Amino acid sequence: MSILTRVRASLVALGVAASSLTIATVGATAAHAATMAPAYNNCGESGVYYCQEVDSSIGSIRLATALGSDHHEYAQAEGFTSAASHAVYMDQSSDNGRTWTGWINPLYNQDGGWTDPIYDGPPYVTRACLTDQGQYICTAWH
């Protein structure tokens, strides 16, 4: 299932009317939205506007965003690790990472699962994190 489908389903589950959701690229018409290049994508995830992956000795973490009908990004995190006990979550900041709210939408012990989406438009920046028995890796702020 693509991240666009997951974001749409998650927003509908949160009470956003399906008829009000149009996930497309900013400034694009529905006819050519799929042909527009993503802003950045180093993780090979199809159908995303932005995707960043960081690999380390404890595993890999991804932060991916899709654009909503309000032309803002909605972020989700996905992690991979061989550890039996781990968590994937997002941190969000409104002051470019000087301070932040942490452990947003944590996902425990689900290797390869995506967190629920969060709004990632102005004034927020978001990063994805993976923790494994006291070790942490995070993506850069986006």
pLDDT tens digits for range 44-71: 777 788 999 999 999 999 999 998 888 8
Separation between Cα atoms, residue 109 and residue 38, nearest integer Å: 30
The answer to whether 104 touches 92, Cβ cutoff 8 Å, is yes
Residue in 28, 32, 24 with CA at minimum distance from that of residue 49: 24
Residue in 99, 89, 82 with CA at minimum distance from that of residue 127: 89
Separation between Cα atoms, residue 48 and residue 11, nearest integer Å: 16
**pLDDT by residue (tens digit) across 67-90?**
888 888 899 999 999 888 999 999
pLDDT mean over 102-122: 93
State the pLDDT confidence band at 6, using cuts at 50, 70 and 90.
low
pTM more than 0.75: no
pLDDT of residue 39: 66
Ordered by start, the domain boundaries in the chain are 3-138
The angle at the Cα of 112, spanning 50 to 44, to the nearest 5 degrees, equals: 35
Separation between Cα atoms, residue 130 and residue 61, nearest integer Å: 6
pLDDT mean over 10-20: 46
